[in-house]
Amino acid sequence: MEAIRLDPSMKKRAAKVYARAFFDYPLFTFYYPDRARRERHLASHFEVVVNYGFLYGQNYTTPDITGVACWLPPGSTDITWLRLIRTGGLPIFPKVGIIRSWTHVSKQEDYTVKVHNEIMPGSHYYLWAIGVDPDYQGMGIGKTLIRPSLDQADEQSVPIYLETHNEKNVLYYQKLGFDLIRTESVPGFDLKFWCMIRPPRPY
* CATH number of domain containing 75: 3.40.630.30
Let me know if residue 66 belongs to a domain. Answer: yes
Let me know if residue 203 belongs to a domain. Answer: no
Q: Domain range for residue 80?
A: 4-198
DSSP string, 56-102: HSEEEE-TT--EEEEEE-TT-----HHHHHHTT-TTHHHHH-HHHII
pLDDT (0 to 100) of residue 88 = 76
Residues 174-187 pLDDT 10s = 999 999 999 999 99
Let me know if residue 50 belongs to a domain. Answer: yes
pLDDT (0 to 100) of residue 93 = 65
Q: Residue 137 burial (CB < 10 Å; 0-12/13-18/19+)?
A: middle
Question: What is the total count of domains within the chain?
Answer: 1
Let me know if residue 161 belongs to a domain. Answer: yes
Let me know if residue 59 belongs to a domain. Answer: yes
The segments of the chain whose pLDDT lies below 50 read none
Are 147 and 194 in contact, with CB atoms under 8 Å apart? Answer: no
pLDDT (0 to 100) of residue 89 = 65
Let me know if residue 41 belongs to a domain. Answer: yes
